[in-house]
Amino acid sequence: MMLNSLRTIGVRLAMAAVMASQITAARCEDVTVTIDNFTFSPAELKVKVGTTVTWKNQDDIPHTVVSAGKFKSKALDTDDSFAFTFTAAGDYKYFCSLHPHMTGMIKVE
Ligand SMILES: [Cu+2]
Protein backbone atom coordinates (compact mmCIF):
# COMPACT_ATOMS: atom_id res chain seq x y z
CA MET A 1 0.00 0.00 0.00
CA MET A 2 2.68 2.48 1.12
CA LEU A 3 5.02 1.30 -1.64
CA ASN A 4 2.31 1.77 -4.31
CA SER A 5 1.66 5.37 -3.36
CA LEU A 6 5.38 6.09 -3.34
CA ARG A 7 5.60 4.67 -6.87
CA THR A 8 2.72 6.89 -7.97
CA ILE A 9 4.52 9.95 -6.61
CA GLY A 10 7.71 8.81 -8.38
CA VAL A 11 5.91 8.56 -11.74
CA ARG A 12 4.31 11.97 -11.26
CA LEU A 13 7.69 13.53 -10.46
CA ALA A 14 9.22 11.92 -13.55
CA MET A 15 6.40 13.29 -15.74
CA ALA A 16 6.81 16.75 -14.22
CA ALA A 17 10.55 16.60 -14.96
CA VAL A 18 9.88 15.68 -18.61
CA MET A 19 7.39 18.54 -19.00
CA ALA A 20 9.83 21.00 -17.41
CA SER A 21 12.62 19.96 -19.78
CA GLN A 22 10.33 20.47 -22.80
CA ILE A 23 9.55 24.01 -21.67
CA THR A 24 13.28 24.71 -21.30
CA ALA A 25 13.95 23.34 -24.80
CA ALA A 26 11.30 25.63 -26.31
CA ARG A 27 12.84 28.66 -24.65
CA CYS A 28 16.26 27.72 -26.02
CA GLU A 29 14.96 28.62 -29.51
CA ASP A 30 15.69 32.25 -28.71
CA VAL A 31 19.36 32.99 -28.33
CA THR A 32 21.62 35.78 -27.16
CA VAL A 33 24.86 37.11 -28.62
CA THR A 34 26.96 38.99 -26.11
CA ILE A 35 29.03 42.00 -27.14
CA ASP A 36 32.08 42.55 -24.97
CA ASN A 37 35.70 43.59 -25.44
CA PHE A 38 35.09 44.48 -29.15
CA THR A 39 33.85 40.96 -29.85
CA PHE A 40 30.55 39.29 -30.74
CA SER A 41 30.25 36.05 -28.79
CA PRO A 42 29.59 33.55 -30.20
CA ALA A 43 30.95 35.04 -33.44
CA GLU A 44 29.12 32.43 -35.51
CA LEU A 45 25.73 31.03 -34.63
CA LYS A 46 23.49 28.45 -36.31
CA VAL A 47 19.75 28.89 -35.70
CA LYS A 48 16.44 27.69 -37.13
CA VAL A 49 14.08 29.89 -39.16
CA GLY A 50 11.84 31.81 -36.76
CA THR A 51 14.52 32.26 -34.10
CA THR A 52 14.86 35.62 -32.40
CA VAL A 53 18.47 36.58 -31.74
CA THR A 54 19.14 39.23 -29.12
CA TRP A 55 22.46 41.07 -29.03
CA LYS A 56 23.36 42.48 -25.63
CA ASN A 57 26.13 45.02 -25.21
CA GLN A 58 28.14 44.29 -22.09
CA ASP A 59 31.09 46.38 -23.23
CA ASP A 60 31.68 49.78 -21.66
CA ILE A 61 31.53 51.59 -25.01
CA PRO A 62 28.72 51.76 -27.61
CA HIS A 63 28.46 49.24 -30.47
CA THR A 64 25.98 48.60 -33.29
CA VAL A 65 24.74 45.46 -35.03
CA VAL A 66 24.38 45.92 -38.81
CA SER A 67 23.70 43.43 -41.60
CA ALA A 68 23.60 45.19 -44.98
CA GLY A 69 20.02 45.38 -46.23
CA LYS A 70 18.72 43.12 -43.44
CA PHE A 71 18.84 44.83 -40.08
CA LYS A 72 20.50 47.75 -38.35
CA SER A 73 20.51 48.62 -34.66
CA LYS A 74 20.99 52.03 -33.15
CA ALA A 75 24.16 52.60 -31.13
CA LEU A 76 23.80 50.30 -28.14
CA ASP A 77 25.08 51.67 -24.87
CA THR A 78 26.21 49.39 -22.06
CA ASP A 79 23.40 46.92 -21.17
CA ASP A 80 21.31 47.95 -24.20
CA SER A 81 20.10 45.17 -26.45
CA PHE A 82 18.81 44.69 -30.00
CA ALA A 83 16.64 41.81 -31.20
CA PHE A 84 15.93 40.50 -34.71
CA THR A 85 13.75 37.57 -35.75
CA PHE A 86 15.10 35.57 -38.70
CA THR A 87 12.19 34.54 -40.94
CA ALA A 88 14.21 33.35 -43.95
CA ALA A 89 17.08 30.87 -44.29
CA GLY A 90 20.50 32.12 -45.30
CA ASP A 91 23.86 33.34 -44.05
CA TYR A 92 23.64 36.73 -42.38
CA LYS A 93 27.00 38.43 -42.03
CA TYR A 94 26.94 41.41 -39.72
CA PHE A 95 29.33 43.92 -38.22
CA CYS A 96 29.56 46.91 -35.91
CA SER A 97 29.38 50.10 -37.97
CA LEU A 98 31.45 51.95 -35.35
CA HIS A 99 34.21 49.32 -35.41
CA PRO A 100 33.97 47.54 -38.78
CA HIS A 101 36.59 44.97 -37.78
CA MET A 102 33.97 43.53 -35.38
CA THR A 103 32.14 40.91 -37.42
CA GLY A 104 29.80 38.01 -36.82
CA MET A 105 27.62 35.56 -38.69
CA ILE A 106 24.18 34.07 -38.13
CA LYS A 107 23.49 30.95 -40.20
CA VAL A 108 19.74 30.43 -40.48
CA GLU A 109 18.47 27.06 -41.69
CU1 LIG B 1 31.63 48.38 -31.99
The model's pLDDT over 60-82, given as tens digits with 9 standing for 90+, comes to: 999 999 999 999 999 999 999 99
Task: Name residues whose C-beta falls within 8 Å of residue 21's C-beta, 6 or more positions apart in sequence.
Answer: none
**pLDDT attached to residue 77:** 98
Ligand 1 centroid from CA 72, angstroms:
13
Ligand 1 centroid from CA 39, angstroms:
8
- CATH number (2.60.40.420, 2.60.40.1180, 3.30.420.40, 3.40.640.10) of 30-108 reads 2.60.40.420
Ligand 1 centroid from CA 100, angstroms:
7
Task: Provide the residues around ligand 1 (an ion) whose CB is within 5 A.
Answer: 63, 96, 98-99, 102
Mean pLDDT of 3-13: 57
Between 79 and 19, residue with greater pLDDT = 79
**pLDDT attached to residue 27:** 47
23 has pLDDT over 50: no
Average pLDDT, the chain: 86
Between 26 and 85, residue with greater pLDDT = 85
How many whole angstroms separate alpha carbon 10 and alpha carbon 8?
Answer: 5
Q: Nearest CA to 89 among 102, 104, 106?
A: 106
pTM of this structure? 0.74
